[in-house]
Amino acid sequence: MSSSADSSSVLIGLDYESSLSAGAVLARYYLSKSVKVSSKQQYTRMYEIWTDFCQRNGVPEFGADHKQLAACLSLVMLEDGSYSKVVTLSAAIAHEYRIRMLQSPTTHETITLLFRGFRNEHPQTRGKNDQYSEGSERIVASNPDDKICPVKLTINYFLFLGPTYTGYMVPSCTPKKTPNPNKAAPYSGALSDMKKLMSTLGYDATLYGEHSGKRGGATAAVANGATGNQLKRLGGWRSDTMAAKYVDLSINSRISMSQLLQN
């Protein structure tokens, strides 16, 4: 059944209810549709870890505090050693609380610090951005004559943060426009700022997204002779398919292909 049909069936069932209760039920329905089907399936599998923990320890599934959540996440981290797994588990729990319009214990500052502890204690834990278990070290060539040299921009950024700064590498800003070391910049805010910057530089911001830099870099690398293996290592991909998704055909490549068809 389509989403529109599902929505209609919900509305039909609410004909005889008050507007407040009907709205609340409808809100929960739409909140349940706030994540993609693939993410929801993954959340469902991971959420079973939480329900099992609650049942074994007499913890209320919806009403747990940050201490109980921290205990669950820590046990999973110790048992599996997978940072990505505890991140997904936390997201699954947050989702279930959100669709019920409840305050989730995942938002407590203790949980934020807990994840920082996970990263510090398990720096070599392989995540989706570290498929070769190389940690966080990256080597980038410097081009001092280029105004947008990535090394120069990175150094300037760290100079802006200051030599005594400790906290998130990409922090959010305080109302006074200073870095807030205890809070990471949200995805939506970072994306919005990036689009504003592109507009300021005279580019069409609608053409740029979160992965534009990675896609552009992969495309440029291939155009300049990078091999498939080099591309996968630099991009952190293990599969040829994933690496290929980030490479757009250059103008020269398209012209060459067109010429081949004409011969």
**DSSP one-letter string for 90-117:** HHHHHHHHHHTT---GGGSHHHHHHHHH
Query: Quick one: pLDDT at residue 146?
Result: 85
31-56: average pLDDT: 87
Return d(Cα 193, Cα 189) in angstroms, integer: 6
> Considering only 22-31, 62-71, 93-102, which range has the smallest mean pLDDT?
22-31
The mean pLDDT value for 116-131 works out to 71
Q: 84 in a domain, yes or no?
A: yes
Report residue 52 as tokens: 């099992």
CA distance 63 to 61: 6
Q: How far apart are the first and last CA of the chain?
A: 50
pLDDT, tens digit (0-9, with 9 covering 90-100), for 63-93: 999 999 999 999 999 888 888 889 999 999 9
Domain membership flag for residue 150: no
What pTM did the predictor assign? Answer: 0.47
Length of the chain: 263
Of 73, 113, 74, 79, which Cα lies nearest the Cα of 93? 73
Query: With bands split at pLDDT 50, 70 and 90, how would you rate the model's confidence at 131?
Result: low
Residue 64 lies in a domain: yes
56 domain-assigned: yes
What percent of the chain clears pLDDT 70, i.e. is strictly above it? 87
Split into its structural domains, the chain has a count of 1
**What percent of the chain lies above the pLDDT cut of 90?**
22
Domain range for residue 107? 34-121
Mean pLDDT of all residues in 122-141: 64
pLDDT of residue 16: 47
Does residue 220 fall inside a structural domain? no
Is a pLDDT exceeding 90 seen at residue 59?
Answer: yes
Average predicted confidence (pLDDT) for the chain: 82
> Is residue 40 assigned to a domain?
yes
Report the CATH number at residue 52. 1.10.150.130
- Other CB atoms within a 10 A radius of the CB of residue 216 amount to 13
Q: Is residue 62 part of a domain?
A: yes
Residue 216 has pLDDT above 50, yes or no: yes
Helix (H) or strand (E) holding 181: strand 179-184
The verdict on residue 153 lying in a domain is no
Q: What is the pLDDT of residue 55?
A: 94
186, pLDDT greater than 70: yes
Cβ(75)–Cβ(53) below 8 Å: yes
What is residue 172's three-state secondary structure?
A: strand
Does the pLDDT value for residue 253 go beyond 80?
A: no
What CA–CA distance (Å, rounded) separates 71 from 76?
9
> Is the CB of residue 14 less than 8 Å from the CB of residue 25?
yes
